[in-house]
Structure 1
Amino acid sequence: MTLRMHMLRNTWAGPFNASIEAAQCLCVTGASGSGKSVLLRMLADMDPAEGELSLAGIDRRAMSASTWRQRVMLVPAQAGWWATTVQEHFAEATMTNARPLADRLRLPSDIFERQVLRLSSGERQRLALIRALVTRPTALLLDEPTASLDQDSVAAVESLLAEELARGLILVLVTHDAAQAARMGQQTLHIAGGKAVAA
């Protein structure tokens, strides 16, 4: 299983080239505004893009947008929340898996019963990650998933992601933390001014 991009580009960023195998993490680094999030949105088929993009040898254009996004799932830096309580954002069938993940990520035992408006930014980040993981995507695109977390919570997230990688997840991780990139990534893509450059 491989997520492959070749000459992936749009008006704002690119071209980008990479092949990420199952159980591998590509870390994307660069200054704020350099084009990291644009790359993730192109990979998720949420921004227009030219070039080649495929998963397991199947071209992005051969799948519907919804099917591609279920398999190549983006968790943005600020995920959307549309209902009052946390639990309303989870299908009932996923709760059996969601609750143990919440415990792993150091979230309160009653977190799913809480109102979204009362959550901290770090709680929202971890819940958005859980919301993605319980759907079992093939590839996961994470935009600074630990930016609002304390050191212990960062370690918990990285430990969980390492387990998911061991199960065969493809991970693309945007981070400003060079140490995190070194810990998590088998590959690194550094972006400056919308272009891939040597780190």
Structure 2
Amino acid sequence: MVHLLNIKKLHFLHCGPISLQLKETEISGLSGASGSGKSRLLRALADLDDHSGDIILDDINQQSIDAHLWRQKIVLLSAETSWWFDTVGEHFSVYSESILRKQLVLLGFSDDCLHWSVARLSSGEKQRLGLLRLLQNQPDVLLLDEPTANLDRNNTELFEKFVIDYLHTRSACAIWISHDHDQLQRVCQNKYVLENGVLVDVD
């Protein structure tokens, strides 16, 4: 299935109107000064913050679907992830055991990490495992808010490849916030800056 995200005249806080279209397998990179509204943009797209305008995935308007169902289709990986259970493995209930173990290896983990206490995880480990947790329901759009800010070079490369492979397998798309312009150049097909409440195409 081909997935297309169409954002039309979106307004939130001091920002807007913002219009943007994302096609299958495409990553749109987003940068901008702190406080410019980048994270709030992703939260509006995930229907977590108040906003106006139309956000349409394929032929489904965000306004026509329950919020919890929308958030299964469009998922947000925040700069800091939240965890609810004591151990890592308790957060993974959808994957088959064999698929989960393969996915963990691709993100640089050994099998025994499923038995780890969440309290022992570093911020970088939480980000990689948080990504895998979000992908359990096979979402169509990934909203990534500085997802590799706490990762070293090797794990950043693993994370980038994992996301790109997922997008191509699922025919999904993504918006990736980063202050690392080299990273945006590597992974993104389109690049934008949020400036004075307006989305500026910098390609």
TM-score (norm 1): 0.94
How many residues end up aligned between the 2 structures? 199
Report what 2:155 is aligned to.
Answer: 153
In structure 2, the CA distance between the partners of 1:19 and 1:198, relative to structure 1 (3 Å rule), is closer
Match runs of 1:182-193 below 5 Å: 182-193=185-196
Match runs of 1:36-51 below 5 Å: 36-51=38-53
* Misfit runs of 4+, over 3 Å: 92-96
Report what 2:78 is aligned to.
Answer: 76
The one-letter amino acid paired with 2:124 is G
Match runs of 1:118-197 below 5 Å: 118-167=120-169, 168-197=171-200
Match runs of 1:98-137 below 5 Å: 98-137=100-139
In structure 2, the CA distance between the partners of 1:28 and 1:91, relative to structure 1 (3 Å rule), is same
The one-letter amino acid paired with 1:195 is V
| Cα contact 1:98–1:131 (8 A) shared by 2 | no
The one-letter amino acid paired with 1:80 is S
Report what 1:85 is aligned to.
Answer: 87
2:111 is paired with a residue whose SS is coil
1:111 is paired with a residue whose SS is helix
Deviation at 1:36, TM superposition (A): 0.8
In structure 2, the CA distance between the partners of 1:195 and 1:163, relative to structure 1 (3 Å rule), is same
Q: Is the deviation greater in 157-166 or in 34-43?
A: 157-166
Report what 1:17 is aligned to.
Answer: 19
RMSD between aligned residues: 1.5
Deviation at 1:139, TM superposition (A): 0.8
Unpaired runs of 5+ residues, structure 1, are none
| Cα contact 2:6–2:57 (8 A) shared by 1 | yes
1:14 is paired with a residue whose SS is strand
Deviation at 1:74, TM superposition (A): 1.0
Q: Is the deviation greater in 158-167 or in 121-130?
A: 158-167
Deviation at 1:92, TM superposition (A): 5.4
TM-score (norm 2): 0.92
Unpaired runs of 5+ residues, structure 2, are none
Deviation at 1:116, TM superposition (A): 0.6
| Cα contact 2:36–2:197 (8 A) shared by 1 | yes
